[in-house]
Amino acid sequence: MSLALHFGRYGYRIITALLRNDGWQLNHKRVERIWRREGLKVPQKQPKRRRLWLNDGDCIRKRPQYRNHVWAYDFVMDRTHDGKRFRMLTIIDEYTRECLTI
């Protein structure tokens, strides 16, 4: 338990290897059983922010500085009462966080 608190990003397999290096004789199944019983989980990694590539080869992600400077778009899907799908294109102004159109 103290190893899991000290090494927060390590999973039960790496903790098993650390315990074996310290002289404990155990297998990974036992450590996994204790790991689950204690309710330990490895936190998910945060996804990397992808850069927006511009036509001139520059890799700068534009930050909105004023109204209508940077827009974002995304498709949103929903279903009607009878189960048919429909998709909507949403366009958002990133500075004001206002939905310009759907």
**Best-predicted range by mean pLDDT among 3-7, 9-13, 44-48, 91-95?**
91-95
- In this prediction the pTM is 0.40
Q: Residue 39 contacts by C-beta under 8 Å, 6 or more apart in sequence?
A: none
- Compare 39 and 26 and report the one with higher pLDDT: 26
- C-alpha–C-alpha distance, residues 12 and 42, integer Å: 9
- C-alpha–C-alpha distance, residues 21 and 33, integer Å: 20
pLDDT at 56: 58
Read off the pLDDT of residues 53-87 as tens digits, 9 standing for 90 and up. 655 555 566 788 888 888 888 899 999 999 899 99
Sheet of 85-93: strand order equals 71-79, 85-93, 98-101
Q: Output DSSP code: residue 2.
A: H
Q: What is the mean pLDDT of residues 3-23?
A: 76
